[in-house]
Structures are given as structure tokens and as C-alpha cells.
Amino acid sequence: STGPRSEPLMSEQAEEVNRLKRVVQTFLDFTRPVELKLHQVDANTLVREVILLAADARAQGVDLEEHYGKGPLIIKADSDLLKQAILNIIINGCQVMPNGGKLMLETGRDEDNHIFIAITDHGPGIPEETRDKIFNLYYTTKPKGSGIGLAQAFRAVQLHNGRIKVESEVGRGTCFRIILPTSNTQ
């Protein structure tokens, strides 16, 4: 291995992307039961790993801002599935800000001791009448959109006994808050 140091990293990223693609493929058959590979993971670590995958967001002029809660924030999760869900929400956030902007990722605990991962964009926001449709499979407002990303995110979070809260203000942006139960065996 005499090549430059960045090569192994690139192949690792490519492997990770391929692995996540496989996750999506099996996942798109919404009728099939999904077997979760659950492990104890720190939500902070998970988000940091997703940020590495979302590196090209920065190339599009999106400023990724990270705020991590006091950890470790241990959840029982299928890392691949949850990473893909978070990545889908990040991609969605980047797409609604075609001219760039700030995308904020935040982790922490809420007042009920649940762990949350929040992704906030400064896009156009979601009008109230379409807010309950955004997680429907194949629903999209984008010319080239597949309508799969948010549906996958919703289902992944549901499989983790969690939920996604959407707060949006038209003209100001949208916050997707993933709320997950804390792993009891800390």
C-alpha cells in the first residue's frame, strides 16, 4: 500500500454506500418483515458517521452545523437502517435548499429521557395541507424525486419504536425530530 492515504478511506466510503443501498433495496418492499440487527450504539457516533457520508452536501454550499448532546446517548439500533433514515432526511434538506444554506443536526435527551436526533433545514417549509403526506411512499414535490427517502426514514424510525415529529414554518424551514427510546441496558 504505497498510494496516498486517502484511497482506503474512499473505498470504505464506497463500501458503506453500497451497504446502505442494499438496506434500501430490501426496505422498499414494505410488505416484507424487516429483521433488525440491533446493537447498542451512541446516537452521537451514529450522527458523526452519517455526516461523513453527507460530505458532498458541503460541496453544494450547504453548511452542516453539528450540536451534540452530552453523551453517551445509547440507543438500541440497527445502525445501517437508522443511518440511511438520517441520511435521507439530510438529503431532503439539501434538496429543498438548492442555493445552499444551513442544515443543523442536533442530538440530546428530551424531558421524557428519550433520545432525539433533530435535522433542521432553512428551506421553504412544508405547507400544513401536505405535511401529513410527506412520509407516504412515492409522494414527492420534486421534479426528479422518487418519494422514497422520507417514507424509508419514517418506517425505519417506526421499526425502532420511535417517532418523527415534523415542525415546519412556511418560508422559514423544517425540523425533523427523530425521537427514540433510550436503551434500558446502559
The residue-averaged pLDDT of 73-80 equals 94
Higher-pLDDT residue of 136 and 25 is: 136
CB atoms within 10 A of CB 161: 10
pTM above 0.95, yes or no: no
Task: Specify the DSSP class assigned to residue 38.
Answer: -
Tell me the per-residue pLDDT of 111-131, one tens digit each, with 9 for 90 and over. 889 999 999 999 999 999 998
Q: Which residue has the cell 417514507?
A: 151
Q: Return mean pLDDT, the chain.
A: 85
- Residues 84, 121: Cα–Cα separation, whole Å: 18
Beta bridge partners of 66: 105
54 or 109: which leads in pLDDT: 109
Tell me, what's the pLDDT at 59? 73
Task: Reply yes or no on whether the pLDDT at 25 is more than 80.
Answer: no
23, 33, 30: which is closest to 137 by C-alpha?
Answer: 30
Q: Which residue bears the cell 460541496?
A: 59
